[in-house]
Amino acid sequence: MIFGGRQLIGLDIGSSSIKMIELKATGKTFKINRFGMAPLPPGLVEGGEVLDPGVLSGIISGLHKELGLRTKHVCSGMFGGAVIVKKISIPRIDPKLISEQIKWEAEQYIPFDLSEVNLDYHLLKSNQSSETMDILLVAAKQDFIIRYYEAIESAGLHCSIIDVNGFALANCFEMNYGARNGQTLALINIGSGVSNLVIVDNGEVVFCRDIPIGGNLYNMEIARELGVSQAEAEDLKIGSTRASESPPELSAVISATNEMICDEIRNSFDFYDSSNSGPEVGSIFLSGGSIHIPQLVEAIANGTQKDCQVLNPLQNVEYSAKEFSPDYMNQIAPFLAVSIGLAARKVGDS
């Protein structure tokens, strides 16, 4: 959804923090101009829903000032229950007529009241001689969009594009690794409340689903099993990634939770396979703050029996080592994937 504007700041509104980034295009690559994160109080953004746009807006404008950004045009992304992405096939028609046609088609596929939804679509490169054409249908609830828009505009900024986090993740992948034609890859961004899963086939997104679990699940399980508060559980969890060895009871909860995350990912792959959205996934690239969890990447590789690696959002994105220490950038790289993908959008992309 595009509301106008030009140079864009990528604003990833996550469940536990916001990330704001400004990129500068340098020929074919990008360089980070400014970057910052600000934590959000629990319950402000839940499952992709902004519950208090007023409070969020104060945090957005505070970070924008702190970073000294002059650009006011923002590209942000929706995720979670607010947005549905579905690959559909329709009889081949003149592409100019698609936007009318999808209004009729959407009724069968979108479980929301269509009068309360914004519809968008992307025409996939399907076989020209086929009698049908493949379309990626995107439906976002209007009242959710309004709250993103309100939070950004009340911060004195302009909401130029509201994208979908999964698409931003795919954009970040392509910026760093190229289109990888001929391959089918899964990109999974494991955050705190939600994990974004995107399947890219031949350089195109063919499947996008947000799984409603992430790092918070570890906190809940640690709190329950070890009888501590959520805040203490978060400290124990973060501590376990830094220590060479953790108490056995903590390690046991973390590895059991790794398996739960893995089961959810496997369920989503089963759903993808059964919906015939595209060929079988070859390899997986992981990002998001929760991939710091010990043994999670290995657990996903074992559980899915697929080649699994960490997505480096800075593989092809430069930064000044004077302004950002390479150690710091390595630490925060997993948090950056979605915001980098958003910041690289140009008005006219969608």
Nearer to ligand ATP, 121 or 285 (CB): 285
What angle, rounded to 10 degrees, do the helices at 230-242 and 215-226 form? 110
Whole-number minimum distance, CB 202 to ligand ATP, in Å? 27
Binding to ligand ATP in span 281-340, by CB under 6 A: 288-290, 292-293, 335
Residue 166 binding ligand ATP, by CB under 6 A? no
Total residues at interface with ligand ATP (CB under 6 A): 21
Nearer to ligand ATP, 53 or 278 (CB): 53
33 binds, among ligand ATP, Mg ion, none (CB under 5 to 8 A by kind): none
Identified binder of ligand ATP from the candidate list 9, 10, 16, 257, rule CB under 6 A: 16
Nearest to 98 by CA among 69, 75, 64, 121: 121
Identified binder of ligand ATP from the candidate list 23, 188, 234, 314, rule CB under 6 A: 234
148 binds, among Mg ion, ligand ATP, none (CB under 5 to 8 A by kind): none
Per-residue tokens: 237:
């969890």
Binding to ligand ATP in span 114-143, by CB under 6 A: none
- Cβ-proximal residues to 133 (8 Å cutoff; 6+ apart), any chain: 89, 90, 91, 92, 93, 123, 124, 126
Buried b (16+ CB within 10 A) or exposed e, 130-140: eeebbbbbbbb
Taking residues 17 to 56 in sequence order and writing x for each that binds ligand ATP by CB under 6 A, - otherwise, the string is x---------------------------------------
What angle, rounded to 10 degrees, do the helices at 248-274 and 230-242 form? 90
- For every residue of 273-291, DSSP letters joined together read HHTT-SSPP-EEEEESGGG
User: Given the rule CB under 6 A, which of 14-22, 130-138, 200-208, 310-318 is the region that contacts ligand ATP?
Assistant: 14-22
Per-residue tokens: 233:
């559980």
Q: What share of the chain is helix, strand, coil (3-state, %, to 5)?
A: 40, 30, 30
- Cβ-proximal residues to 89 (8 Å cutoff; 6+ apart), any chain: 132, 133, 134, 135
Whole-number minimum distance, CB 284 to ligand ATP, in Å? 17
How far apart are the C-alpha atoms of 43 and 40, rounded to whole Å? Answer: 8
Identified binder of ligand ATP from the candidate list 160, 171, 184, 216, rule CB under 6 A: 216
216 binds, among Mg ion, ligand ATP, none (CB under 5 to 8 A by kind): ligand ATP
Whole-number minimum distance, CB 205 to ligand ATP, in Å? 18
Nearer to ligand ATP, 53 or 214 (CB): 214
Binding to Mg ion in span 177-206, by CB under 5 A: 191
269 binds, among ligand ATP, Mg ion, none (CB under 5 to 8 A by kind): none
- Cβ-proximal residues to 96 (8 Å cutoff; 6+ apart), any chain: none
Binding to Mg ion in span 3-32, by CB under 5 A: 14
Per-residue tokens: 18:
């916001």
How far, in Å, are 91, 201, 261, 301, 302 from residue 253 at the CA level?
Answer: 50, 35, 12, 19, 18
Per DSSP, helices labelled H in the chain are 53-66, 98-109, 142-154, 165-177, 215-226, 230-242, 248-274, 296-304, 326-343
Q: Which helix (DSSP H) or strand (DSSP E) does residue 162 occupy? A: strand 158-164
Nearer to Mg ion, 168 or 250 (CB): 168
Binding to ligand ATP in span 180-209, by CB under 6 A: 191-194
What angle, rounded to 10 degrees, do the helices at 296-304 and 248-274 form? 40
Identified binder of ligand ATP from the candidate list 119, 238, 262, 347, rule CB under 6 A: 238
Q: What residues make contact with Mg ion under the rule CB under 5 A?
A: 14, 191
Interface residues with ligand ATP (CB under 6 A) are: 14-17, 191-194, 214-216, 234, 237-238, 241, 288-290, 292-293, 335
